[in-house]
Amino acid sequence: MAIGKKSAFFTIVSIILVAGLLFFYVSSNRYSEKERSRVITIRVATMNSFINDIEHDIERGLFISSMRSLIGMTEYVAENGTFYTDFEASFNEAIFNGTADGMPLNLTFNSHFGTWMEKVTDIGSKLDLRITTAGMKVVPFHDDPWRLKVTVIGTINITDRKGLASWKRVLNVTTALDIQDFEDPLYTIISSGKLTNQVIATGVTDFVDGSDASNLITHANNSLYIASSSAPSFLMRFEGNLSPSPYGIESIVDIPTLQVVAPTLYDGSSSTIDYIFFGVQDAGCQVNQTKTELPWLRLDNPHLPTYESTCS
C-alpha cells in the first residue's frame, strides 16, 4: 500500500511538472510569436516608409537629371554639329548613363538618373534591403509649346534580405521642365555652335500698331519666340525635323549677327523665320513697316498676317 501511495504521489507530481513545462512552453511560444509579429510589423512599416520616400524623391531626381541631360545634349551637338537621329533613345542614354553616343557629357556623367538609382540601392543595402529595377525608360514629350514633360516608367522591386516582406511597384512618374532659357538646338547645330539663341517667349501681342512697328523691331532684334502650329517643337529641333507641330515655336533670325559669325549661312532672299531660313528656304519679301530700321527682315506670305506686316 505504501508503494502504491508513493507511485500515485510521483505520478501526480510528474503530471504537475509536465503541465508546468507545457504551460511555460505555450506561454513562451505565444510571447515569441507576439514578438515576431511585432518585429515584422515594424520592419514592414520601415520598408513602406522607404518606398514612399523613393516615390516622393524620384520626381526631383528625374527633374534634375532631365535638366542636366538637355543641357549636356545641347553642348554635345554644338561640338559635333549633327542632329540626333533618335532623340528619345539619346535622351535615355544621357539620363541613365550620362553619355551621348558613348561619350561622357560634362554635366551628367557623374550626376544622372542612373547614379541616383545607384545611391538609392546603396541606401537600401544599408537597411538590409535588396533593390532591383526592370524595364526602366524615360519618355520626353510636349503638352504645351513652352513645356517639356518627362515620364519615367518601369518596375522597382524591394525585398527584405531576411525574407520578411517584398514589394513590386510599377513606376510612372512625370516631371515638367520649362524650355525657356534653353538654347535652341536648331541654331546651334546649323551654325556648328557659332550662333546660339535662347528660347525666350515674346511678351508682344500686337507687333504693329498703325505705323508703329517698335514691338516688331524689338521682337526681331532679340530673336524672341512665339508659339506657332506651323513650326517644329523644341524637341523636334534636336532631330532637324522641321515639320509643323501643335507645340511648335518660331523666332526671327538675327541676320546682322549671323552675317558676322556665320556668313556662309546668309541668304538675302529667304524668309527670316528660323525653321524656313535654316530649312527649305522660302522667298521672303522686305517688310514695309521695318524697311528703315530692319532692312534685312523678310517674311514669307503666310507669315505676313502673323506679324501684322505687309510687303510692297
Share of the chain above pLDDT 70, in %: 85
Same domain, 74 and 99: yes
Q: Which long-range contacts (C-beta less than 8 Å, at least 24 apart) are formed by 100-109?
A: 100/72, 100/73, 100/76, 101/76, 103/76, 105/68, 105/69, 105/72, 105/73, 105/75, 105/76, 106/72, 106/75, 107/68, 107/69, 107/71, 107/72, 107/75, 108/65, 108/68, 108/69, 108/72
Is the distance from CB of 252 to CB of 219 less than 8 angstroms?
yes
Among 178, 210, 234, identify where a domain stops: 178
Domain enclosing residue 90, as ranges: 43-178
pLDDT of residue 255: 95
Same domain, 127 and 166: yes
Same domain, 75 and 121: yes
**Number of Cβ atoms within 10 Å of the Cβ of 304:** 17
User: Which residue matches cell numbers 554635366?
Assistant: 107
Same domain, 129 and 173: yes
pLDDT of residue 114: 74
**Considering the domain boundaries, does residue 279 fall inside one?**
yes
> How much is the pTM?
0.80
Alpha carbon distance 151, 137 (integer Å): 8
pLDDT of residue 35: 65
Among 178, 197, 227, identify where a domain stops: 178
**Considering the domain boundaries, does residue 214 fall inside one?**
yes
Number of domains forming the structure of the chain: 2
Alpha-carbon distances, residue 269 vs 33, 39, 93, 272, 296 (angstroms):
87, 79, 40, 9, 9
Beta-carbon-side half-sphere exposure of residue 293 (alpha carbons within 13 Å): 14
**For range 117-141, the mean pLDDT:** 83
The yes-or-no verdict on residue 50 having pLDDT over 60 is: yes
Q: What is the pLDDT of residues 74-90, one digit of tens each?
A: 888 888 888 999 999 99
Q: Measured in whole angstroms, how far is the alpha carbon of residue 105 from the centre of its chain? A: 16
Alpha carbon distance 297, 282 (integer Å): 14
**Considering the domain boundaries, does residue 17 fall inside one?**
no
Q: Which three cell numbers stand for residue 88?
A: 528619345
Same domain, 221 and 137: no
Among 178, 199, 219, identify where a domain stops: 178
The yes-or-no verdict on residue 18 having pLDDT over 50 is: no
The contacts of residue 172 (CB under 8 Å, 6+ apart) are 151, 152, 153
pLDDT of residue 16: 46
Same domain, 106 and 189: no
Q: What is the pLDDT of residues 52-82, one digit of tens each?
A: 777 777 888 889 889 989 988 888 888 888 8
Same domain, 222 and 159: no
**Considering the domain boundaries, does residue 37 fall inside one?**
no
**Considering the domain boundaries, does residue 12 fall inside one?**
no
Same domain, 160 and 240: no
Is the distance from CB of 41 to CB of 153 less than 8 angstroms?
no
Q: Which three cell numbers stand for residue 150?
A: 518627362
Q: What is the pLDDT of residues 19-39, one digit of tens each?
A: 444 444 444 444 466 666 666
Alpha carbon distance 77, 192 (integer Å): 8
**Considering the domain boundaries, does residue 289 fall inside one?**
yes
Amino acid at 164: L
Same domain, 219 and 293: yes
pLDDT of residue 171: 83
Same domain, 52 and 154: yes
Is the distance from CB of 222 to CB of 251 less than 8 angstroms?
no
Alpha carbon distance 238, 236 (integer Å): 5
Detail the DSSP E strand segments found in the chain. Answer: 99-100, 103-104, 129-144, 147-160, 166-178, 225-227, 249-251, 285-286, 298-299
Average pLDDT, the chain: 84
pLDDT of residue 9: 47
**Considering the domain boundaries, does residue 99 fall inside one?**
yes
Same domain, 157 and 230: no
| Cα 263-265-268 angle, rounded to 5 deg | 85
Same domain, 242 and 257: yes
**Considering the domain boundaries, does residue 31 fall inside one?**
no
